[in-house]
Amino acid sequence: MKEDTTNELLEILFKISRRMKEEMSYTCNLTFLSVLQIQTLIFINQSQKVSMGDIAGYFGIELSSATSLINKLSKKKLIKRDEDQQDRRLVMIVLTNEGKKLLERAILERKKKLEKTLSYLSAKEKNELLTIFKTLNSKL
């Protein structure tokens, strides 16, 4: 790939990433949660039960950072800690009913924002973009 093309891709990816982050922000009246907190709720919901180590590993953060993240979600009563039935030394993190409801609303909001953001693209362009992202994701 030519250097000019690489530079242009870097610049446009940065700009799109910035704009998408702003557009997809969860700092609205609905949640008051950070993107990382929402992603954590999504990860817990998809996995059903996770440990602190699972969370730290998934996000590539230190265990102490995962604990801080979970403590904040716990204070908001969005998650709870359960003892593992097979190994009581393990603490498993699960969503509360309040956490599930909030996550459903947040996902719906995110979907609406993404649909608005992508409304400038044709159906064909959306499919092409999806193909490109899937290819990149599988190669990375």
> Taking all residues of the chain, what is their mean pLDDT, rounded to a whole number?
87
Contacts of 10 (CB under 8 A, 6+ apart): none
Give me the pLDDT at residue 48, please: 79
Q: pLDDT (tens digit, 9 = 90+) per residue, 94-138?
A: 999 999 999 998 888 888 888 888 899 999 999 999 999 999 889
Taking the C-alpha atoms of residue 18 and residue 5, their distance in angstroms, rounded to an integer, is: 20
SS3 27: coil
Number of folded domains in the chain? 1
Q: Which domain holds residue 112?
A: 3-139
SS3 131: helix
Domain containing 57 — which CATH number?
1.10.10.10
Percent of the chain at pLDDT above 70? Answer: 93
Q: pLDDT (tens digit, 9 = 90+) per residue, 2-32?
A: 778 889 988 988 888 888 777 666 555 555 7
